[in-house]
Structure 1
């Protein structure tokens, strides 16, 4: 990597990508040495290394940690102590995680240079995609991006999500000279703190420019589908705005009004009629392709817990648009890119970029299961970690990161599998979050296993023209024995515009779905159910249409971000459980025990 230079574009960016991956081992060693040189005098590192900046001493002395070990230092800085507690650079902001994976938001330290690194990764996306989909500079991108109102720490540091930080930065605002960053959404609409007004205005702008849109998407698949759901409710109002050239009076944000009046400019009855004809159809299958006929692909995260949205995305695009997942990132660090963006979602793999941070890996057991010595953070042996270039093909690992901003050997909690290499840089498939989701007795069901079982069971809905829109789970332990509860929101595909009055599925279908879920869960669960009787029959609770939109609203109202929101796959919030249970239409239990003998 060329010293401090981080801004590469076009072919230059691809050449830099090749250089970095060809020398991944050298780049990683250089990154770690630079982190230790800059941060060696911090209170945190000095505690373990006594002022040394030696790489080997770092690996032998600095512990592998989770958030609770670094949290006291972060809190002290948030309260006004100097950044030198953990980093040699001034901490410019605290980045708040979404909080929906682990149950509570975390604050991650960030320095000014971090924005340069994130921008470096963003600048790789279009050069990579252009190799497969040329001509994207001859139109617009309709990306639904949202910010979250930021807070401040006690000492005045901004506390906001990583995406809010990026959208408010000069890196994002000064993108206008790049033809690939011609978005339909005005910046004022993206930067509006009211997510409903923001979504309305961004959808309106996307419809006004419908014949120029070549790319569609949002950060997560869930946010894109949330937009389609919003469109189902608001298309009449949007058509009225386009027909009259006047913005709906419910849009009160001054920035949005000013920007959108410029977008509307004049009445356009012909365009309104086109959109009205499309949205007024009985079925919304393929609606995305009808509304944006030149679109070449949908861009969104569709890995991990987002994979369950793939059928819905394919329904709305009639399977005609590739689902493109471009990058792998988190609040702690940006990690890598997908070099084959048009691949099947099941085959998405990310090449980790060795200049983003220093990466190590905790080896896991077969199929990504945790082995005993990494189950608790205190028991992770420092010498068990594997370097980036030393991971082995086919093996599973948990990602550990060290950053310039003050995270040292920090466990991200993601389980990854090595599926190949690009030059010397490994390519990983995201498997799941490390945390166990559900447990009643000796059973321990993780996100991957739950998703696998749901994927199997929901196929039973297809012959009945029904689609599983969303799901979450809960370990009901108030009764003896306790049991798994799965909340399902189901769409009737033959009556998309009036789903509330759709004919309900027969009880037998849902009961068979219950047993199908159980049959796909692991041996320990099935033994607890069928032999030990320590776990009761699995229950599916079918909720009213729109329930999961309301759940998302609840988490956003509690401080979550619409950009980073991921439906929790296991509910731990009493308020969320109350909301779900208040919307249950019907409940079904497994009609029999699952098979359990090996």
Structure 2
């Protein structure tokens, strides 16, 4: 990418968005030509195309793939083979996606200029935001950013998350020192590997600068709520630090201590008293506006699975701070921006920018009815894909990308709906992640993995003449951290090997330890990302099994059929997050509840 594009600020950034979207078809055509020109002699593309590398041949011959198709090439590069297997540029790092394959994080290849593209998109967000809320350059942003543990591939390439890559890069550290980049958090606190020490220092810095803060946020809504929970537990320590002008000795990271010494310059008992009076209130409703009275909005991802956190955010903000999602991105590629950032979260749409990669779409609907039966194993005909500028308003699609770093016609797994157009560039609502049924933070558990995990755990019941006859699940975000809930209906076999209808509380209580073992057995079978979130990040709480009365799932079927379901096509829903009445029915029939007794092992 042309390095000059990193310099777009203010009005120039808005003009660049207009230029790109007006010429979306031409920009996309040029992007594909450039990708093929650079990469046409790679081992991967050479299997499907001759060396002419024309876009027409690409669309006719290169298949639509999922991660399992490209993984052997990525693994070879990770083990030391040349990047030319899939790309004409050196791969500089592997980005660990929150998606998984065989229990391990997916590794996405990345080249040096990918950081330029990400920085370009980041640089667009504040000029867009400043159109709606002017004066944001007159204060600071309290954004809570965190890195995650990183490793190396066998050949020494860094393996880390895309956000860790960005925060540790020169693009972030040497970002232009304009007013929009004035964060309360010191860089040293952001890149601290100890998430608790990082959180402590970032929140303390935000409190010290409370009267200057104009914006609040984190990448994900779940992370912002974790920060509020952390604040509830530690506000007394924060007040002591501010009152004494000294950092708590439990913070031992040298760089954190050095950076915070430039913030805690002297004792400030008046500020400490202000914070103490606010935090000691019996209710924390509206606490964010009280602590940061100049704040104009909260920035975080609140679409998709993160929408479950909207009520909690509205509670803590008193319903007075807009929830803003500025951009749409993934480990594989950064896609676009929200041109109307003050939209209601339910109406958020993202405009895909045509210079970020080459975008195609698998049609999921012809008449506005979402079809959800297109899974990873479904082979997609090459000629069925639709170009960016040819998608249709109101229709649903699965996003497919081609990148400079070696992903070709790769299925991202995101289901989108076209909500409008900005010039020639379509705007999309994010509907869901394909096949994902449970998610609290970065974890994404699909129905197949959930079923496999429960299939292993339920075998623990067999020696006790207990049988799991039905189950469903729920991502409970009512507390922080949220956690997975499994609803299990159990039948007890009597001595004649037939089912008993008693299934009383006394029967169930005999199996307390067994159900706890079932909880941890499920967690041990879930993927690497879930186990890391549980055991290392502590962003997901212990899994819970709620045992329900016999006949509960028959009542659930009656309820869903009464809501318009078909008795001929009824299948027990494996997740009931989107059905409040079903959740109420299940909870009203719970007779016992069990939690995982320990953290699952998380290292791959």
Q: Normalising to structure 2: TM-score of the pair? A: 0.77
Deviation per residue, 1:324-356 (Å, 9 max, x gap): 000000000000000000010000000000000
**1:171 CA displacement:** 1.1
Deviation per residue, 1:206-258 (Å, 9 max, x gap): 00000000000000000000000000111111111001111111101000000
Structure 2 residue aligned with 1:121 = 121
Structure 2 residue aligned with 1:300 = 300
Any residues of structure 2 matched to 1:380-395 within 5 Å, and which?
380-395=380-395
Could you tell me how far apart the structure 2 residues matched to 1:562 and 1:33 are?
Answer: 45
Could you tell me how far apart the structure 1 residues matched to 2:107 and 2:256 are?
Answer: 30
**1:106 CA displacement:** 0.6
**1:379 CA displacement:** 1.8
**1:413 CA displacement:** 0.1
Structure 1 residue aligned with 2:222 = 222
**1:294 CA displacement:** 0.4
**1:9 CA displacement:** 1.3
| 2:469 aligned to which of 481, 501, 507 | 481
Relative to 1, partners in 2 of residues 1:360 and 1:475: Cα closer, same or farther, differing over 3 Å? same
Structure 2 residue aligned with 1:526 = none
Could you tell me how far apart the structure 2 residues matched to 1:270 and 1:364 are?
Answer: 59
Could you tell me how far apart the structure 2 residues matched to 1:128 and 1:208 are?
Answer: 28
**1:485 CA displacement:** 3.5
Structure 1 residue aligned with 2:149 = 149
- Most deviating of 587-596 and 89-98: 587-596
Structure 2 residue aligned with 1:277 = 277
**1:476 CA displacement:** 5.0
Report if the CA contact (8 A) 1:433-1:447 is conserved. Answer: no
SS at match of 1:222: helix
Could you tell me how far apart the structure 2 residues matched to 1:42 and 1:448 are?
Answer: 33
Report if the CA contact (8 A) 2:309-2:477 is conserved. Answer: no
Any residues of structure 2 matched to 1:126-525 within 5 Å, and which?
126-365=126-365, 366-370=368-372, 374-377=374-377, 379-435=379-435, 437=437, 476=454, 478=458, 479-486=467-474, 488=476, 490=478
Structure 2 residue runs of 5 or longer lacking an equivalent are: 439-443, 459-466, 481-486, 488-502, 504-518, 567-604
Report if the CA contact (8 A) 1:189-1:201 is conserved. Answer: yes
Structure 2 residue aligned with 1:509 = none
**1:487 CA displacement:** 5.7
Could you tell me how far apart the structure 2 residues matched to 1:437 and 1:65 are?
Answer: 22
**1:557 CA displacement:** 9.6
**1:486 CA displacement:** 3.1
Deviation per residue, 1:512-556 (Å, 9 max, x gap): xx9xxxxxxxxxxxxxxxxxxxxx9xxxxxxxxxx9xxx9xx977
Structure 1 residue aligned with 2:44 = 44
- Most deviating of 96-105 and 260-269: 96-105
**1:375 CA displacement:** 3.5
Report if the CA contact (8 A) 2:334-2:356 is conserved. Answer: yes
Relative to 1, partners in 2 of residues 1:557 and 1:307: Cα closer, same or farther, differing over 3 Å? closer
Aligned residues: 502
**1:261 CA displacement:** 1.4
Structure 2 residue aligned with 1:524 = none
Relative to 1, partners in 2 of residues 1:363 and 1:71: Cα closer, same or farther, differing over 3 Å? same
Report if the CA contact (8 A) 1:98-1:560 is conserved. Answer: no
Report if the CA contact (8 A) 2:420-2:428 is conserved. Answer: yes
SS at match of 1:320: coil
Relative to 1, partners in 2 of residues 1:20 and 1:432: Cα closer, same or farther, differing over 3 Å? same
Could you tell me how far apart the structure 1 residues matched to 2:293 and 2:316 are?
Answer: 13
Report if the CA contact (8 A) 1:363-1:398 is conserved. Answer: yes
SS at match of 1:284: coil
Report if the CA contact (8 A) 2:104-2:528 is conserved. Answer: no
Could you tell me how far apart the structure 2 residues matched to 1:270 and 1:3 are?
Answer: 47
Could you tell me how far apart the structure 1 residues matched to 2:146 and 2:7 are?
Answer: 24
**1:5 CA displacement:** 3.9
Report if the CA contact (8 A) 1:101-1:566 is conserved. Answer: no
**1:175 CA displacement:** 2.0
Q: Normalising to structure 1: TM-score of the pair? A: 0.78
Report if the CA contact (8 A) 1:360-1:409 is conserved. Answer: yes
Structure 2 residue aligned with 1:94 = 94
Could you tell me how far apart the structure 1 residues matched to 2:384 and 2:65 are?
Answer: 14
Report if the CA contact (8 A) 1:418-1:426 is conserved. Answer: yes
Report if the CA contact (8 A) 1:59-1:383 is conserved. Answer: yes
Could you tell me how far apart the structure 2 residues matched to 1:22 and 1:141 are?
Answer: 32
Could you tell me how far apart the structure 2 residues matched to 1:487 and 1:212 are?
Answer: 36
Could you tell me how far apart the structure 2 residues matched to 1:393 and 1:157 are?
Answer: 42
**1:204 CA displacement:** 0.2
**1:3 CA displacement:** 9.1
**1:168 CA displacement:** 1.0
SS at match of 2:51: coil
Report if the CA contact (8 A) 2:96-2:106 is conserved. Answer: yes
SS at match of 2:263: helix
Relative to 1, partners in 2 of residues 1:380 and 1:563: Cα closer, same or farther, differing over 3 Å? farther
